[in-house]
Structure 1
Amino acid sequence: MSETPRPGFDWLDLPVERAARRLLGCELRRELDGRTLAVRIVETEAYDQDDEASHAFRGRTARTDAMFRSAGHLYVYLSHGIHHCCNVVTGRDGYGSGALIRAAEPIEGEDVMRVRRGRGGPALTNGPGKVCQALGITRTLSGHDLSLPPVRLVERDPVDEARIVTTTRVGISRAAAAPRRFYLAGNPYVSRL
């Protein structure tokens, strides 16, 4: 029997496209070395087990286990053997789905993020690997419950749908035409293509 989403994350118990849109404007808060770092999510991509581009497509494995947990967990993977990328898990336990955090806008601790990244401005967090580097998120946090420190997801009011742009995802070869990328129109921290 599948576990239902934990209290506090039922707002992510949605089809992954809707959950990925709902995450826009929400915050990731990271406690790191006695400091709080916070970003507002401005770009996401939706992935689930029925999607050929998803890590969950071939089923639950040791690597993808976190993606099959209930909404409100973190799934972290290494892209091209170099960059950590993170997804907020959505939906119910047992169904692999998550929203890749593609870009975020710094709102607290930007000075620490600049030191971690060696740069500032939009290039600080305008890509999935950049977000993880700025926040110190690595695979050691895969499976982490986002209601607990050191990384928490903070729900914010839904963004006005008129502000959300929908397009195809970036840097994938399978299911590349699927309109599963969502971002806030005009935000300077949205990734550059």
Structure 2
Amino acid sequence: MPAEPTLSLPWPGAKPLPDTFFDRDAQLLARELLGMVIRHRVGKRWLSARIIETEAYYLAEKGSHASLGYTEKRKALFADGGHIYMYYARGGDSLNFSAHGPGNAVLIKSGHPWVDAVSGADSLAAMQRNNPDSLGMPRAPERLCAGQTLLCRALGLKVTDWDARRFDLQRLFVEDVGERPHSIIQCARLGIPVGRDEHLPYRFVDAQYARHCTRNPLRRGQVEGQDYRLMSV
């Protein structure tokens, strides 16, 4: 059986999100996670990324894995809020958190490296070693976590280590560092096959980081009110 999460704080003043934070509607959770920081300890270093892009998924819509039914592999999706669901996509690992209600979850679509007193320049360098570009060179920080598999690769998160687990304050958790987006872009999710509710506007992007997410929703040709809408916070 997996070990129970360690309850003691990893350092004085840490502000990990409680499991109850995740026990809310998937769209609300997807918005509220923007600005939070994923912390993953690898060896003695904490690798960290600010969440800048999320997608909400529901049991009752065709775009979700849960809509295909319960399996042992998908059990975390049907657990209460705050369970980790990971799967393989596009040749890499993807990170999701269960939300309120069976089958509902949030995909962490992309992030931005977070550097502070806990995760310093050495942690950023470790993330760049984890996720070099196609030539084996360090990726620019703004491109390091710009996609769901790039994020997991940079943070060293793997399906085999974390799928169906709960957070462990000594190894992996999400922290409230006091950052909030000034505005949020809402638009359709990416990569949803035609006919599987691809039109649903369940993707949320921190507008300040729109250029650094999987695909910029404010790119040329996109029309406000038609392709996306801006939400005040």
Give the alignment's TM-score, normalised by structure 2.
0.73
Measured against aligned partners, the alpha-carbon deviations of 1:35-79 in whole angstroms (never above 9, x if no partner) come to: 111111010000121121101112221111111122112110001
Change (3 A) 1:96 1:157: farther
Structure with higher strand content: 1
Equivalences, count: 183
Checking the alignment, whether the CA contact within 8 Å between 1:24 and 1:183 is kept in structure 2 is: yes
Show the counterpart of 2:148.
Answer: 128
Instruction: Say whether the 8 Å CA contact 1:72–1:153 is kept in structure 2.
Output: no
Shift of 1:168: 0.2
> Aligned residue for 2:113?
106
- For 1:50, what is the secondary structure of its paired residue? coil
Q: Which digits, 9 at most, give the CA deviation of each residue in 1:1-55, with x for residues without a partner?
A: xxxxxx9222222211111111111111000022111111010000121121101
**Aligned pair in 2 of structure 1 residues 157, 59: CA closer, same or farther (>3 Å)?**
farther
Q: 2:84 is matched with which residue: 52, 70, 74?
A: 74
Deviation at 1:99, TM superposition (A): 0.7
Describe the SS at the equivalent of 2:143: helix
Q: Quote the Cα distance in structure 1 between the aligned partners of 2:146 and 2:104.
A: 23
Show the counterpart of 1:154.
175
Aligned to 1:49, the other structure's residue is in SS state coil
Structure 1 residue 158: Cα displacement: 7.5
CA deviation profile, 1:79-137 (whole Å, cap 9, x unmatched): 14x11111011115xx0111100111111321111011112232210100000101111
Which has the larger Rg?
2
Tell me the secondary structure at the aligned position of residue 40 of structure 1: strand
CA distance in structure 2 between the aligned counterparts of 1:59 and 1:156, rounded to whole angstroms: 36
User: 1:16 touches 1:90 (CA, 8 Å); kept in 2?
Assistant: yes
Q: Which amino acid in 2 is paired with 1:133?
A: R
Q: Percent identity?
A: 28
Residue of structure 2 in register with 1:183 after alignment: 205
Specify the code of the residue in structure 2 equivalent to 1:116.
N
Q: Aligned equivalents of 1:180 and 1:101: distance in 2?
A: 12
5+ residue gaps, structure 1 = 1-6
Secondary structure of 1:186's counterpart equals helix
Aligned-residue offset at 1:148: 3.2
CA contact (8 A) 1:147 1:153 kept: no
Give the superposition deviation at 1:156.
4.8
Q: CA RMSD in A?
A: 1.8
* Structure 2: distance between partners of 1:69 and 1:167: 27
- Report the TM-score, using the length of structure 1 for normalisation: 0.88
Q: Distance in 1 between matches of 2:76 and 2:104?
A: 10
Mapping for residues 46-85 of structure 1, pairs under 5 Å: 46-80=56-90, 82-85=91-94
Distance of 1:79 and 1:135 partners within structure 2: 16
Aligned to 2:39: 29
Alignment match, 1:89: 98
CA distance in structure 1 between the aligned counterparts of 2:177 and 2:63, rounded to whole angstroms = 29
Over 3 Å counting, the alpha-carbon distance change for 1:42 and 1:36 in structure 2 is same
Map Cα deviations across residues 172-192 of structure 1 (whole Å, 9 max, x no partner): 111110000001003143222
